[in-house]
């Protein structure tokens, strides 16, 4: 496919209902080629539903396009251009990692040689271990290796590091940044705002099917930083919180002048606190 497109992913007033229940409401979003885009939201917000729509697995109303093609009528060729990791299923437990990959490569007419490349790319070394005996992190690498076999232009990842230990999650983050550097567009969902902040060029906060905020993670945090709070731990053990604005500067200076300050912290909002202030809910539900 050699079509020219401006946006990797484009949505305009995209809605989805299951029966009477509307689960996505008039979403409008654009993901540019080569960016990592993060969709954040609590359980039930509609993240997986949106990935399924974008990958042609569910119908919808409104506009949704990937690489300039309508998601309501994607032809089979698109699957050689996109990769997805939805969950850990579709792995043959008794087959080794290598044999799982070979089988998948055969189904998809991919050269055998690419199997080893993909396994190396994700750092999966125990390729002779039956998939059923892999640790969670190794299994996730296997699923990623499978999604990368055909060098997709867009990679859809539904909670790629959910349930992984911080070290493995961090290795997967590195891999995603490397893929981005090689030109892959990545659309991921997560509950984890630290992950989103670290990886994503843009994020959208999804709540009950609505986008409640969109932008670059830093910009979103700064936007909600109007009431930056300073907390002072005084030498007598009290914590004093003061809004950090010019009017209060003298009060803060006075604590220092009187040598009352044990420690001082500024509390910039993070994506979690922004989300809570917008929805009254925690992200990690």
Ligand X SMILES: Nc1ncnc2c1ncn2[C@@H]1O[C@H](COP(=O)(O)OP(=O)(O)OP(=O)(O)O)[C@@H](O)[C@H]1O
Provide the binding-site residues for ligand X, judged by CB under 6 A: 18, 23, 41, 43-49
Instruction: Indicate the residue among 16 and 47 with the shorter CB distance to Mg ion.
Output: 47
- Measured CA to CA, the distance from residue 54 to residue 9 in angstroms comes to 8
**Of these partners, ligand X, Mg ion, none, which one is at the site of residue 190 (CB under 5 to 8 Å by kind)?**
none
23 binds, among Mg ion, ligand X, none (CB under 5 to 8 A by kind): ligand X
When the beta carbons of 39 and 149 are compared against Mg ion, the nearer one is: 39
The distance of closest approach from Cβ of residue 190 to ligand X in the complex, given in angstroms and rounded to an integer, is 9
Q: Which does 44 bind (CB under 5 to 8 A by kind): Mg ion, ligand X, none?
A: ligand X
Nearer to Mg ion, 47 or 69 (CB): 47
Least spacing, CB of residue 27 vs ligand X, in Å: 12
In the complex with Mg ion, the residue whose CB is nearer, 48 or 192, is 48
Query: Residue 49 binds which one of Mg ion, ligand X, none, with CB within 5 to 8 A depending on kind?
Result: ligand X
CB of 16 to ligand X, least distance (A): 8
**Structure-token pair, residue 274:** 């922004």
The residue among 98 and 275 lying less far from ligand X, judged by its C-beta, is 275
User: What token pair was written down for 154?
Assistant: 């867009």
Q: Cβ 44 to ligand X, closest distance in Å?
A: 4
Q: Is 259 exposed, middle or buried (0-12, 13-18, 19+ CB in 10 A)?
A: exposed
Q: Which residues bind Mg ion (CB under 5 A)?
A: 47-48
To ligand X, the closest distance from the beta carbon of 18 in angstroms equals: 3
Q: Which CB atom, from 45 or from 271, has the smaller least distance to ligand X?
A: 45
Check if the beta carbon of residue 197 is closer than 8 Å to that of residue 271: yes
Pick the closest to residue 197 from 264, 274, 82, 123 (CA basis).
274
Q: Are the CB atoms for 166 and 118 separated by under 8 Å?
A: no
Q: How far is the CB of 47 from Mg ion (least distance, A)?
A: 5
Do 61 and 7 contact (CB within 8 A), yes or no? Answer: no
Q: Which does 18 bind (CB under 5 to 8 A by kind): ligand X, Mg ion, none?
A: ligand X
C-alpha torsion angle, residues 208, 211, 193, 284 (rounded to 10): 0
- Which residue's Cβ has the minimum distance to Mg ion? 48
């Amino acid at each position: 496919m050699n079509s020219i497109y401006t946006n990797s992913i484009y949505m305009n007033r995209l809605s989805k209902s299951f029966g009477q229940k509307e689960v996505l409401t008039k979403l409008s979003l654009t993901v540019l080629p080569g960016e990592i885009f993060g969709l954040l939201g609590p359980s039930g917000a509609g993240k997986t539903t949106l990935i399924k729509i974008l990958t042609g697995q569910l119908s919808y109303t409104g506009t949704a396009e990937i690489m300039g093609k309508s998601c309501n009528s994607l032809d089979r060729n698109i699957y050689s251009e996109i990769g997805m990791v939805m969950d850990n299923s579709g792995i043959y437990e008794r087959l080794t990692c290598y044999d799982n990959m070979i089988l998948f490569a055969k189904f998809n007419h991919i050269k055998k040689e690419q199997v080893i490349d993909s396994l190396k790319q994700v750092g999966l070394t125990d390729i002779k271990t039956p998939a059923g005996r892999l640790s969670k992190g190794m299994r996730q690498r296997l699923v990623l290796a499978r999604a990368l076999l055909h060098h997709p232009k867009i990679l859809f990842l539904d909670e790629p590091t959910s349930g992984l230990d911080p070290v493995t999650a961090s290795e997967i983050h590195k891999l995603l940044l490397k893929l981005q550097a090689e030109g892959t567009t990545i659309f991921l969902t997560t509950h984890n705002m630290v992950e989103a902040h670290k990886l994503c060029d843009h994020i959208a906060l999804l709540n009950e099917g609505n986008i409640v905020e969109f932008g670059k993670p830093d910009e979103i945090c700064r936007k909600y930083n109007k009431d930056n709070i300073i907390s002072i731990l005084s030498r007598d053990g009290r914590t004093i919180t003061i809004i950090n604005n010019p009017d209060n500067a003298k009060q803060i200076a006075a604590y220092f002048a009187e040598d009352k300050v044990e420690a001082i912290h500024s509390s910039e909002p993070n994506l979690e606190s922004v989300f809570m202030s917008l929805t009254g809910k925690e992200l990690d539900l």
